[in-house]
Amino acid sequence: MNTILVTGGAGFLGSHLCDRLIERGDDVLCVDNFFTGSKQNISHLLSHPNFELLRHDVTFPLYVEVDRIFNLACPASPVHYQRDPVQTTKTSVHGAINMLGLAKRVQARILQASTSEVYGDPQVHPQPESYWGHVNTIGPRSCYDEGKRCAETLFFDYHRQHALEIKVMRIFNTYGPRMHPNDGRVVSNFIVQALKGDDITIYGDGQQTRSFCYVDDLIHGMLRLMDSPAAFTGPVNVGNPNEFTMLELAENVLSLIGGSSKLVFGPLPADDPKQRQPDIALARQALDWAPKVELVDGLKETIGYFKRLFD
């Protein structure tokens, strides 16, 4: 049996990952400081004999014995990561150093949850892994973008300097059940607004694009990457290449939920990327992975989750 450390395991993606690992018989140590995650996301796992929860902040050292590490700890929504930007950079950078130091000591393979934000507001479309990005170093998103970029640098330096087995996954916008209702990200915002009959808040003119991946597809890709041959380090894009404008997303959500919500237009946040679509040729070839869930089907599952939450 493998003992697997999941940092950020009580968050949206982390809790789904813990579910899949427990299902396949792994021993899971979930580490989280509950900054954005919640015990509710993992409450169904607490009594499982193979599951253990530890409240801990990854910016502090952690001494445990594990075989593999998934490093997901970091707030992901712009609203949350901008609330305490210094802590966001510390989580990405000090957190990466501590988890890499741990991986080095116990000779564990380690996967980093990186992000499409390393491409910034991209001038190449769609974005292949070879694109170095277009990122502001001093804006309100920089704590997240530059923190994640520095974490990638640390991963590759530990790989070259200490022969650590690393996997760097560039995750594109992912949605699904267990997103926090006040998370601030677009899919949860639109669904919660439509369910409550509130106005749908479009930032800017709604013509900016994102490509949305359903959580089950994403976690499948993450497990494929962790289990890939040692020589494959990434970085590798994992996401759904179907691209939508925020207006199209709002129309999709409204047509599934119905109701009387109106679209209202507000200011576009600073440095908001205008377009984003993953080039997933590498994931297809190296991991034999591609997303399967269509946006409407994933939205139906997510809407069902929020309906149950508000009942």
- Of residues 249, 102, 119, the one with CA closest to residue 171: 119
* Distance, CA of 146 to CA of 132 (rounded, Å): 12
Closest to ligand UDP by CB, 205 or 294: 205
Question: Which region, judged by CB under 6 A, interacts with ligand NAD, from 7-15, 96-104, 153-161, 301-309?
Answer: 7-15
| Residue 115 CB, nearest approach to ligand NAD (Å) | 4
113: contact with ligand NAD by CB under 6 A: yes
Positions touching ligand UDP (CB under 6 A) are: 61-63, 77-78, 97-98, 101-102, 104-105, 173, 185-186, 189, 201-203, 208, 210, 246, 269, 272
Closest to ligand NAD by CB, 37 or 126: 37
18: contact with ligand NAD by CB under 6 A: no
* Distance, CA of 5 to CA of 64 (rounded, Å): 9
302: contact with ligand NAD by CB under 6 A: no
Q: Could you say which residues in the range 91-110 bind ligand NAD, by CB under 6 A? A: 91, 95
- CA distances to 69, 111, 161, 287 from 222, rounded to whole Å, are 12, 9, 25, 10
Q: Which of ligand NAD, ligand UDP, none interacts with 12 (beta carbon under 5 to 8 A by kind)?
A: ligand NAD
Q: Which of ligand UDP, ligand NAD, none interacts with 280 (beta carbon under 5 to 8 A by kind)?
A: none
What token pair was written down for 48? 């499982």
Choice among 144, 158, 175, 214 that is catalytic: 144
273 in Cβ contact with 145 (< 8 Å) = no
Which residue among 29, 72, 135, 303 contacts ligand NAD (CB under 6 A)? 72
Closest to ligand NAD by CB, 164 or 168: 168
| Residue 212 CB, nearest approach to ligand UDP (Å) | 9
* Distance, CA of 109 to CA of 164 (rounded, Å): 7
Closest to ligand NAD by CB, 95 or 177: 95
144 is catalytic: yes
Q: Which of ligand NAD, ligand UDP, none interacts with 105 (beta carbon under 5 to 8 A by kind)?
A: ligand UDP
Q: Which of ligand NAD, ligand UDP, none interacts with 8 (beta carbon under 5 to 8 A by kind)?
A: ligand NAD
Q: Which of ligand NAD, ligand UDP, none interacts with 59 (beta carbon under 5 to 8 A by kind)?
A: ligand NAD
Catalytically annotated residues: 144
**What residues make contact with ligand NAD under the rule CB under 6 A?**
7-8, 10-14, 32-37, 57-59, 72-76, 91, 95, 113, 115, 171, 173-174
